[in-house]
């Protein structure tokens, strides 16, 4: 157990970007800059609760690395939690996620819209996009419904089916392709029957 009596910061030295060596009594601690600022760890400062300082530092130890990760590889909140839980055993994942949400680095609504637009640009239909967001990304049903209502899923089935026919797709293969892509049969059945008549 950490004894908190007569604990005082004796020195503070920046050792690398955002990392400080803080000498408290005769022990050197490596703290993140956020911890140093939050607890005002300056020379002569008395430390009332060292365990609290250490716990806080542990919570944010990987925050900068995780911020960079979500900028490069955006994720839904659910999937990001799963990744963090499997990768970092010693951090408070919910605390980190809450910080990232408040800072705007993680936002399921923005992520779902961007992912939906990406899938639409790859010629996927409403059903595929909805299932992808709900079951692969674990976005809430309310957000998915709101996003999908705001997007345009108009597809030129005439053009698409003509391309499929040129690629030697028969009627059944074209039907299977469009169903796999997440389109409703009622949306393309007339054009399918016309082109493959």
What's the rounded mean pLDDT across residues 38-58? 92
Q: Report d(CA 33, CA 72) in Å as an integer.
A: 23
Residues in the chain: 197
Assess whether pLDDT exceeds 70 at residue 193: yes
* Ordered DSSP codes for 105-170: S--HHHHHHHHHHHHHHTT--HHHHHHIIIIIS---HHHHHHHHHHS-----HHHHHHHHHHTT--
The full set of domain ranges for the chain reads 7-51, 63-103, 108-150, 157-195
95: left (phi over 0), alpha (psi -120 to 50) or beta: alpha
pLDDT given for residue 1 in this prediction: 44
Contact (CB, 8 A) for 28 and 20: no
Over residues 138-173, the pLDDT tens digits come to: 999 999 999 999 998 888 898 989 899 999 999 999
Assess whether pLDDT exceeds 50 at residue 80: yes
Q: Report d(CA 69, CA 112) in Å as an integer.
A: 18
Contact (CB, 8 A) for 33 and 59: no
Assess whether pLDDT exceeds 50 at residue 135: yes
Over residues 92-110, the pLDDT tens digits come to: 899 899 999 999 999 999 9
Q: Report d(CA 133, CA 146) in Å as an integer.
A: 12
Assess whether pLDDT exceeds 80 at residue 18: yes
């Amino acid at each position: 157990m950490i004894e908190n009596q007569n604990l005082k910061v004796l020195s503070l030295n920046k050792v690398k970007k955002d990392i400080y060596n803080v000498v408290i009594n005769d022990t050197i601690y490596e703290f993140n800059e956020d911890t140093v600022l939050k607890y005002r760890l300056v020379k002569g400062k008395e430390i009332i609760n060292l365990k609290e300082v250490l716990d806080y530092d542990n919570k944010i130890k990987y925050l900068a690395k995780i911020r960079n990760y979500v900028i490069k590889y955006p994720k839904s909140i659910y999937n990001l939690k799963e990744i963090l839980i499997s990768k970092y055993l010693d951090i408070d994942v919910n605390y980190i996620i809450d910080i990232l949400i408040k800072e705007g680095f993680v936002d399921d609504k923005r992520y779902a819209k961007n992912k939906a637009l990406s899938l639409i640009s790859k010629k996927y239909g409403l059903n595929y996009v909805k299932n992808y967001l709900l079951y692969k990304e674990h976005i809430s049903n309310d957000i998915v419904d709101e996003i999908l209502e705001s997007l345009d899923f108009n597809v030129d089935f005439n053009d698409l089916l003509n391309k499929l026919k040129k690629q030697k797709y028969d009627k059944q293969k074209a039907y299977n392709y469009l169903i796999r892509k997440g389109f409703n049969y009622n949306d393309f059945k007339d054009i399918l029957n016309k082109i493959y008549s």
